[in-house]
Structure 1
Amino acid sequence: MRKSVGFISQYLIGVLFGLGLLVSGMSNPEKILAFLDLGGAWDPSLIFVMGGAVLVGLVAFYLAKRRTQSFFGDALQIPTRRDIDRRLVIGSLLFGLGWGVAGFCPGPALVALGTGHAKPLVFVLAMLVGMAACEWFFSGNKRTPALK
């Protein structure tokens, strides 16, 4: 019973996130690219969306630090790593490059799949291939410690 309640709550939170992306226009790659176009028709609305998300995140993490278990009784696992390694930097650069070229990041791309357009489909397929390649590389390749 508890797992099904957790699954339902995760689903509802995902729906809320997707609705937020739709209402704010962040599932539209042209809006993201307009934010990145500092020399043209710059659209600063992404700053407000990100600022709101950061504020919600700060409050949520502040409250979570005061708890020892989740709302459903599971152990609360808050990330503790604070180091910046090569994998994090390379991943961030690839994320930013993909975001700047396509105007999508993973969440909005999944939401935009509902439009039926080819661009989000191509992005999501490329993202899945990249995730699989990364998983394969880091799980089977003996040279991965060199990246740390």
Structure 2
Amino acid sequence: MRLVLGFASGLLFGLGLILAGMSNPAKVLNFLDVFGTFDPSLAFVMGGAAVTTFIGYRLAWRRKAPFILSDFQIPTRNDVDAPLLTGAALFGIGWGIGGFCPGPAWTALALAAPGTLVFLPAMLAGMAIATILKNRKPALA
């Protein structure tokens, strides 16, 4: 059941990204180009997502447990450290250069969007390098 619900959620999310234009890198780059060909339409997508998330969390917190798990899995860390800030900066730079963030990049692959065949392997390589660097053992001095 968990697999079916996960697939359905992913499919709904992907369709939403496509309908919103998030899998079109030109639309995303135009949204980021405030002093050029600015397209504010993605602000409505983000606003709709924020409202939906707000309502969804309010409904979810009324339950004792989620539908398919025994309890809610809530992150316990709330600190802001250098790896978090570095990762956020790299994510933003990559989004600004490529016009994709990870979710829409996968949907754009299915749509054969230009640049996807370059962006996705580079993104996966970056994720692999980050994992290797995070998990490496410090050298003994």
TM-score for both structures, normalised by structure 2 = 0.90
- Identify the residue that residue 138 of structure 1 maps to in structure 2: 134
Which consecutive residues of structure 1, in runs of 5 or more, have no partner in the other structure? Answer: 144-148
- Partner in structure 2 of residue 127 of structure 1: 123
Match of 2:71 in 1: 75
The alpha carbon displacement at 1:119 in A equals 1.1
Give the length in aligned residue pairs.
139
What secondary structure does 1:100 align onto? Answer: helix
What amino acid sits opposite 1:123 in the alignment?
Answer: F
User: Helix, strand or coil: the match of 2:31?
Assistant: helix
Q: Which amino acid aligns with 2:27?
A: K
The aligned runs of 1:1-148 (5 Å cut-off) are 5-117=1-113, 119-142=115-138
- Give the match's secondary structure for 2:115: helix
Q: CA deviation at 1:141?
A: 3.4
Indicate the percent of aligned positions where both proteins have the same amino acid.
47
Contact 1:27-1:108 at 8 Å conserved across structures:
yes
Q: Structure 1 residues 62, 128: closer, same or farther in 2, change over 3 A? A: same
Alpha-carbon RMSD: 1.6
Query: 1:99–1:105: 8 Å Cα contact kept in structure 2?
Result: yes
Query: Distance in 2 between the 1:73 and 1:97 partners?
Result: 36
- Structure ranking higher in helix proportion: 1
